[in-house]
Amino acid sequence: MAELVLTGARIVTPEAVIDGALVARDGRIVAVESGRATAGEALDGDYLIPGLVELHTDNMERHFAPRPGVRWPAVSAALAHDAQIAAAGITTVFDAISLGSLQDYDVRVTALTEMLSGLRTARDNGMLRSDHLLHLRCEVSYPGMTRLLEDMIDDAHVRLVSVMDHTPGQRQFVNPDKYREYWKGKNGFSDTELEAYLAMSRQRGERHSAENRRAVVSLCAGRKLPLASHDDATPEHVAEALADGMVVAEFPTTIEAARLSRDGGMKVVMGGPNLVRGGSHSGNISAGVLAEHGLLDIVSSDYVPNSLLESAFKLARDFPGITLPQAMAAVSVTPAEAVGLNDRGAIKPGRRADLVRVRVVDGQPVVRAVWCDGVRVA
């Protein structure tokens, strides 16, 4: 029977921070007690927190295409992504796989099969440190999205599906100036190229978005897969999401949309980079503002894995009324339970021994060790 004993820790449970010891056997927590244990690994007063649960990260794509025109070997890219995730204290990660894009030449489209193959090979051969699940991001304006979803939806690792529409003028970029700034900066478009791109994108959205959305909702309902909305901006967006049975509201762009989502029973997700930086790169609502209004349930690292841990400590440090256990819940137990993973995300008996040792140095949380299912992985 494999046993793990950690002592001399400041243990962040769902209810409080206690100075104590933890015992785990065969990958499950069996005891959490105040005071020091007579044996075990001493953590010297460092925090012991639950392994972080990440519902939405775009981090994997950058490892497959680290520079323009460069394609990295698939298994090596998956391992590099996994190593960064584990080092950030994330023990359960939903790799966000985009089914479609506004651009046919986007790496999300051209490398989709390659990325999935590399991840699958690494997983099947026991090469990964963290637990990798799949979040299928369905770009409803993309012509071939439904076919891609039908091909992937019965993969056992698919545990979350989201609906997104990046058609110009919709949702994330309601402000047209911000949209132009983003796409010109990302792709180096001239004004003429950008206008042609915008026209094509709007045409696709008008033709495919409504039909594809209905297909996503239907396919997921039949399989009882949790659904997330993405970038809701208006009461109409939220009403549609609630009517479609969605349980997670990803990155609402206005405080009104966030409040209506919460009132309707959805968990509100905002980005860690938004919270750490103090604002949205798209010019939308700040995650900090939602936290101040009690409307922030879950934090996602989005495109910076380290931002998940930093966000939890920032919430507890900078937002009066938010305790460390409450802040930690936003990056662990709340995202886990929102999508039906009731076996992890909290330090209490019976849960998976997904654990992270953290030391705070001059206000900066530093990961010192990571255990996934009771096994040290970092």
> Per DSSP, what are the bridge partners of residue 355?
50, 371
Eight-state DSSP code of residue 173: G
Strand 355-361 to strand 364-372: parallel, antiparallel, or no bridges (unpaired)?
antiparallel
Q: What is the pLDDT of residues 173-183, one digit of tens each?
A: 555 666 666 66
> What pLDDT is attached to residue 175?
59
Rounded to whole angstroms, how far apart are CA atoms 31 and 196? 62
Whether residue 169 is predicted with pLDDT greater than 70 in this model: the reply is no
> What pLDDT is attached to residue 107?
67
> Per DSSP, what are the bridge partners of residue 369?
357
Domains 1-50+345-378 and 52-343 agree in fold: no
Q: What mean pLDDT is predicted for residues 151-163?
A: 97
> What pLDDT is attached to residue 104?
59
The CATH code that applies to domain 1-50+345-378 is 2.30.40.10
> What pLDDT is attached to residue 176?
62
Which H or E element spans position 207?
Answer: helix 191-221
Q: What is the pLDDT of residues 63-105, one digit of tens each?
A: 988 888 888 999 999 999 999 999 999 999 999 999 987 665 5
Rounded to whole angstroms, how far apart are CA atoms 190 and 323? 48
Hey, what are 32's tokens?
Answer: 């959490």
Least confidently predicted of 97-106, 132-141, 204-213, 302-311:
97-106
- At residue 195 the predicted structure's pLDDT band, cuts being 50, 70 and 90, is confident
The CATH code that applies to domain 52-343 is 3.20.20.140
Q: What is the pLDDT of residues 353-363, one digit of tens each?
A: 999 999 999 99
Domain ranges of the chain: 1-50+345-378, 52-343
> What pLDDT is attached to residue 264?
98
- At residue 171 the predicted structure's pLDDT band, cuts being 50, 70 and 90, is low
> Per DSSP, what are the bridge partners of residue 95?
57, 134
Q: What mean pLDDT is predicted for residues 185-193?
A: 70
Q: What is the pLDDT of residues 210-222, one digit of tens each?
A: 899 999 999 999 8
Q: What mean pLDDT is predicted for residues 237-244?
A: 97
- At residue 52 the predicted structure's pLDDT band, cuts being 50, 70 and 90, is very high
> Per DSSP, what are the bridge partners of residue 48?
11, 357
**Across all residues in the chain, what is the average pLDDT?**
91
* Selection from 282, 139, 148 nearest residue 204 by Cα: 139
Residues 6+ apart with CB under 8 A from 359: 46, 47, 365, 366, 368
Rounded to whole angstroms, how far apart are CA atoms 258 and 264? 10
Hey, what are 205's tokens?
Answer: 């959205």
Q: What is the pLDDT of residues 252-308, one digit of tens each?
A: 999 999 999 999 999 999 999 999 999 886 678 999 999 999 999 999 999 999 999
Tell if the pTM clears 0.85, that is, is over it.
Answer: yes
* Selection from 338, 367, 353, 262 nearest residue 46 by Cα: 367
Query: In this structure, is the dihedral angle defined by the CA atoms of residues 237, 243, 249 and 250, taken in order, positive or negative?
Result: negative
Q: What mean pLDDT is predicted for residues 40-44?
A: 95
> What pLDDT is attached to residue 112?
86
